[in-house]
Structure 1
Amino acid sequence: MAQQHRVIIQNSHGEKLVGILHDTGSSELVIVCHGFQSSKDRIPMVNLATALEKEGMSVFRFDFAGNGESEGSFQYGNYRREADDLRAVVQHFHGKEHTVTAIIGHSKGGNVVLLYASKYRDIHTVVNISGRFNLERGIEGRLGKDFLQRIKQKGFIDVQNRRGKIEYRVTEESLMDRLTTEVHAACSAIQRDCRVLTVHGSMDKIVPAEDAVEFSKSIANHVLCIMEGADHEYTAHQDELASVVVNFVKANLHLHKDTTEPQLCRKPDRGGRSCL
């Protein structure tokens, strides 16, 4: 059993990032990143950490600034700044008892780990779970069709929940941060010695599965897994998601001398689900 420790890391803006270290005693450390308006304690992050821990790997899951227990105010966009948060985490562990060997991100966190890989190039195993390739899509659903006109006039848009309570404010600056984050350019900049896995659910209603295909076209060393029937949160597919991710990470760690191609995406067994 791994020992769990609460770890606080300061980012480049002086904000404290809060995370949980699952320390198995292994020097190999995997970092797990959450998505939009999420946290380290959401089910996909906890389940992935537990699955990796069972395989003997140490894991760190943390909250980006402005999310969960971490300091800072929540900001729409912020992709590049969250990549810098991840940088602070990697540097914290660098040269200590652990060596960061893989980074995993779900949803927006998937974009963050790819941006990190394109910029810093010191991690060679990356897992993008349900990231969004086309960042222009999905905005109307949250902000309304006339979002550009409204934000130009007022300078911000307050996003409300069904009860009319304001959940967060989108400023023009934060909106433009999202619209000017060039995913294709970042993916093309990822070096060939960085192995990338993209996992995406075929029934994802938040980010369409065709975005996963675009990642596969833009990243040189890439494995694509479309999980049949899975939604954005992998509600009924947590075990399958964990299996695919763990197998990929294990195959690329120095812990495993076997260099054969991992069997990540199988043909459906009778009565089972498929990963195509």
Structure 2
Amino acid sequence: MTAVTQRAEFSGHSGARLAARLDIPDGAVRAWALFAHCFTCSKDSLAARRISAELARAGIAVMRFDFTGLGSSEGDFASTNFSSNVEDLVAAAEWLAEHRGAPEILIGHSLGGAAVLAAASALPGVKAVATIGAPADVSHVLHNFGHQAEAIERHGEAEVSLAGRPFTIRRQFIEDARSTDLAARIAELRVPLLILHAPLDEAVGIDNAAQIFAAARHPKSFVSLDGADHLLTSPADAAFAAGLIGAWATRYLAPDEAQDAKPVEDVRVAETGQGRFQVVVQAGIHRFMADEPEAVGGSDTGPSPYDLMAAALGACTAMTLRMYAGAKKLELGLISVEVRHARIHMADCLECTEEQRAGTGKIDRFERIISVDGGTDPELARKLVEIAGKCPVHRTLEARSTIVTRVQ
């Protein structure tokens, strides 16, 4: 489903106004998640944006924000440290709980992963925690300072270049990082933990994932982001990580709500904004992608509209035949239905009526092939063809329908 992004602000640990974005599903919200970005990154990093968007399409709303002194947030970065980041995270969770809904999922990238591990025990509403490329020891971040670390400790502060940008780092940042016992915080976790890490991560080695896994209690899971880099710069890697988090968290969330309580067969389709044709289809509690093949400009991330139409006919046929077999107490093996769709010239339609063949233009032709495990005798096969013709979708496709359209 399409994510509607809204801006928000809240007060951080020092009272500074922190900037946030809320990625909200255009429909029922299954749960809220809180995303903590990587060290000196921002809420608008590629990983943060892509993962939040993917989760929103799955019905999980996400709040992502800039830590104090970073991105669009106010405050002095030089006065911050890991502990203040954790306090900012708790403040974000409290604001979210008051204005939207308490976060049930915490997601942290890199040092943000360490922050969610440290903050989780202070947030009683959290049901699951996921980390991406997180360090097992907060002091791991200090290697980013190189030879300047000695200057920081000697003079009290120094300017450090991180990702090509200058940042003032003070001695208190180093002292706070060294004094934080993250392993003890991880051991205190009483919620499920998902650890995502790339084996070839050059910024935070894969051994950190092993240490976090060893320190955590069950239930805990580790998934390798094979081929990904630390920042998840590949859209495919970010989408894969988001899909894993969404699927994994489902086990710990309340059941999804049907999109509409009215007694109608209501389906909602919305553009995702990703790719030329990609849409999210929501039917009751079920959500999935629809798209077009790459050959016609799509991304091929889901079945095409005509694929879905053929699937509707095939599914309806199998269900109708099963109902018939049950009513007649027939010992009928498992049914499979293959449906092929094509647009052919009316004159070439051998199965059409004389009136149809006399027409001009093209007609949609659906070829339906029914298979039954164990086979059938000729008489039963003829009966199954007859019953298949009574499938409601079959009748809808053969009959004339009325489509009422309005723009609101």
Instruction: Please give the range of the TM-score, normalised by the shorter of the 2 chains.
Output: 0.7 to 0.9
Specify which structure has the bigger relative contact order, considering alpha-carbon pairs within 8 angstroms and separated by 6 or more residues.
1
1:200 to 192, 197, 200: 197
Find the counterpart in structure 2 of residue 114 from structure 1.
117
Query: CA shift at 1:207, angstroms?
Result: 0.3
Of 68, 82, 87, the match for 1:84: 87
Shift of 1:78: 1.6
**One-letter amino acid of the structure 1 residue matched with residue 240 of structure 2:** E
Contact 2:94-2:102 at 8 Å conserved across structures: no
For 2:396, the equivalent position in structure 1 comes to: none
Q: Is the 8 A contact 1:38 1:67 kept in 2?
A: yes
Structure 1 pair 78–50 and aligned structure 2 pair: CA distance change class (3 A): same
Work out which of the two has the higher radius of gyration on C-alpha atoms and give 1 or 2. 2
Q: Any residues of structure 2 matched to 1:94-173 within 5 Å, and which?
A: 94-144=97-147, 147-148=149-150, 150-160=151-161, 167-173=166-172
* Residue in structure 1 matching 2:68, options 60, 65, 74: 65
Q: 77-86 or 207-216, which moves further after superposition?
A: 77-86
Q: Is the 8 A contact 2:136 2:211 kept in 1?
A: yes
Matched with 1:180 is: 179
- Within the candidate set 229, 246, 250, 1:231 is matched to 229
Shift of 1:132: 0.6
Q: Which amino acid aligns with 1:70?
A: S
Q: Gaps (5+ residues) in structure 2? A: 258-408
Aligned length: 251
Q: Are 2:207 and 1:216 aligned?
A: no
What's the RMSD between the two structures over aligned residues? 2.2
SS at match of 1:21: strand
Residues 243-254 of structure 1 mapped to structure 2, 5 A cutoff: 243-254=243-254
* Corresponding residue for residue 358 of structure 2: none
Residues 137, 30 of structure 1: alpha-carbon distance in 2 compared, 3 angstrom cutoff = closer
Q: Indicate the larger mover: 238-247 or 61-70.
A: 238-247
8 Å Cα contact 1:127/1:245 also seen in 2: yes
Residue in 2 that maps onto 1:270:
none
The separation in 2 between residues aligned to 1:137 and 1:159, in whole angstroms, is 16
Q: Percent identity?
A: 23
The 8 Å contact of residues 77 and 178 in structure 1, kept in 2 or not, is answered as: no
Q: For 1:105 and 1:244, how far apart are their aligned partners in 2? A: 14
Deviation of residue 98 (structure 1)?
2.2
* Aligned partner letter, 1:229: G
Counterpart residue number, 2:14: 13
Q: Shift of residue 97 of structure 1?
A: 4.0
Deviating 4+ runs (over 4 angstroms): none
CA shift, 1:50, in A, is 0.7
**TM-score, reference length from structure 2:** 0.58
